[in-house]
Amino acid sequence: MSSSRLTSSLYLLTFALLLQNVLGIDPLFRRCSSNTNSTATSSYKTSLSALMGSINHLAPVEGFALGSLGQSSQDRPYGLVLCRGDVPPSDCRTCAVIAAREIRKSCPDSKRPIIAILTPTSLARLMTRTMLFNEKTTELLSQLATKASYNSTKLYAAGEMDLPEGSMKLYGMAHCTRDLSSGDCKKCLDGAIRDLPRNVLGIDPLFRRCSSNTNSTATSSYKTSLSVLMGSINQLAPVEGFALGSLGQSSQDRPYGLVLCRGDVSSSDCRTCAVNATGEIRKSCPNSKRAIIAYDNCLLKYSETDFFGQIDDENKLYMLNVNNVRNPVLFNEKTIELLNQLATKASYSSTKLYAAGEMDLPEGSTKLYGMTHCTRDLSSADCKKCLDGAIRDLSRVAYGKEGARVVGGSCMAIYEIYPFFKA
pLDDT of residue 365: 64
pLDDT of residue 217: 73
Q: Are residues 411 and 321 located together in one domain of the fold? A: yes
Please tell me the predicted confidence (pLDDT) of residue 149.
94
Q: Check whether residue 137 and residue 110 sit in a common domain.
A: no
Spatial distance between the Cα atoms of 403 and 304, rounded to a whole number of angstroms: 36
pLDDT attached to residue 376: 96
Give the mean pLDDT of 239-263.
Answer: 90
Domain of residue 105 covers: 29-116
**Does pLDDT of 150 surpass 60?**
yes
Domain match, 144 and 74 both:
no
**Is the same domain home to 250 and 331?**
no
**In a domain? residue 7:** no
Structural domain contains residue 124: no
- 220-232 average pLDDT score: 90
Question: Does 90 score more than 60 pLDDT?
Answer: yes
pLDDT at 358 over 90: yes
The answer to whether residue 352 sits within a structural domain is yes
Q: Is the pLDDT of residue 203 over 50?
A: yes
Among 277, 303, 329, the domain-final residue is: 303
The CATH number of residue 358's host domain is 3.30.430.20
- Number of domains forming the structure of the chain: 4
- Flag whether 13 is in a domain: no
Q: Rounded to whole angstroms, how far apart are CA atoms 412 and 423? A: 18
Same domain, 355 and 279: no
- Domain identity same for 295 and 323: no
Kindly write down the DSSP assignment for every residue of 309-336, as one continuous string.
TS---S-EEEEE--PBPS-HHHHHHHHH
Q: Are residues 188 and 249 in the same domain?
A: no
Interhelix angle 42-62/89-106, nearest 10 degrees:
160
Inside any domain, residue 12: no
Domain identity same for 297 and 215? yes
235 and 293 housed in the same domain: yes
Least confident of 98-112, 257-271, 309-323: 98-112
Question: Considering the domain boundaries, does residue 19 fall inside one?
Answer: no
Please work out, in degrees rounded to the nearest 5, the angle formed at the alpha carbon of residue 365 by the alpha carbons of 360 and 367: 35
Query: Is the same domain home to 99 and 134?
Result: no
Q: Is residue 94 over pLDDT 70?
A: yes
- Whether 355 and 380 map to the same domain: the answer is yes
Asked if pLDDT for residue 354 goes beyond 60, the answer is: yes
Average pLDDT, the chain: 81
Find the range with the poorest average confidence among 115-119, 243-247, 345-349.
115-119
Residues 103 and 142 in one domain: no
